[in-house]
Amino acid sequence: MSFTKNAPDEEAVRLLRYYEGLALHYDVRGYCVCTSEGKDSRVLGHLMRRAGVRHFYMHSVTGIDPPELVYFQRANFQAYRDLGYLTYDVMYQYSMWQLMRRKKIPPLRKVRYCCEHLKERPVPQQGRAILSLGVRKYESVGRRKKRDELEIASDKKRGDNIIMPFDNSEKRRIFETCYQDNQRRVNPLAYWTDSDIWSYSKDVGLKQCSLYDEGFTRLGCIGCPMARRAGREQEFRRWPKFKAQYLRTFGHMLEDRRALGLPVLEFASTPEQWFEWWLNDKAADKADGNQLTLWGYAEDRTAQPARLLDDIAWELGVNISDLRLVPETKRQALDIMRHMRERERYPLHMWEEAVCYLTGAEMQFGDYGKIKAYFIGNTNYAADQF
């Protein structure tokens, strides 16, 4: 249904007021505004205050955000507290550098574990509140005019519920229910364009982070694999200490992989070589700079698994066509992966997870039955999906 047909900001204000009763039903503090204090979440916070709805602010401390954005966020949170709003800075269990060493690989476009551990996991501070995020879907004005204002983003089928909370995706909806973690989310900016964001900021005199004036178009984790190479290089030139920390961590990961007998790419056997390979991830050029995936699984499921398996294995350091790079104890498992590849009946996420387990030495598959039993026993997939 559609209950507003006005300017985007007026629609957003009406939307927030419309759902405020529901928000208060779940949490007396109102909406939980998840904010990085980048341009989108800044606009979201302003709309909340303009609408006069009850809300509070929550920020995930990742440790790899640009310093200027961190200072900007801290100053804004103090201003929010001065206005009487509750604010929360959330620290997660592991830092980015600790996560990389635990995973033994850097975050990649198809294997992105960082967001789950540093942003998306439910925390006590959010309670049962309806989350409100500054995520957007990029659509034409024509398509935006034809939308339904109230849509449920997913159903109970896992395949239809693959959008991470902080994604910018074509599948974004105004109101979403996530059956993975029982969260409810309202996204007032889901149908806004970049032009809408900047026009609104100018019209209301909303201050944005100074980094936008320096030419940065996206602000987020420094070195994010979803960004294009040019953008990542710009970030590392601007903040060289982060590049140095990545290189140190890459060195530790190489030491850990060798100690555990895990594969090491011949052309990425030093921290510098691995870092260069990581920057040159061609898969990242196919995605929007802010697009995320669910639990590390690729959101684009249109490509053929047989082709993507090689890409995934390559990123993880295993050449599927060369058994010499695979330890003797894992060659039987690799043969089973080939069998899966030939049949081409398996969802993409199964290929990714299987390769992750294969190369991470967390599990060794002895036969096809074990692979099937593992996925049936440890995922939400039924036997008829194999």
* pLDDT the model gives residue 382: 47
- The residue whose two tokens read 């100018």 is 202
Domains of the chain and any CATH numbers: 8-200 (3.40.50.620), 305-385 (no CATH)
Where does the pLDDT of residue 386 fall: very low under 50, low under 70, confident under 90, or very high at 90 and above? very low
* Tokens standing for residue 237: 């030139």
If one counts every other C-beta atom within 10 angstroms of the C-beta of residue 375, the result is 21
CA dist list (Å): 125 to 37, 42, 56, 277: 18, 20, 10, 38
Q: pLDDT of 336-382, one tens digit each?
A: 555 544 444 444 444 445 554 444 433 333 334 444 454 455 444 44
Tell which residue, 316, 325, 376, 386, has the closest CA to residue 113: 316
Mean pLDDT of 128-151: 58
- The pTM (predicted TM-score) of the whole model is 0.66
Mean pLDDT of 162-182: 43
∠ CA 56-161-31, rounded to 5°: 10
d(CA 289, CA 297): 17
Q: pLDDT of 275-321, one tens digit each?
A: 998 988 643 433 333 332 222 223 333 333 333 444 444 444 444 44
Mean pLDDT of all residues belonging to the chain: 71
DSSP 116: I
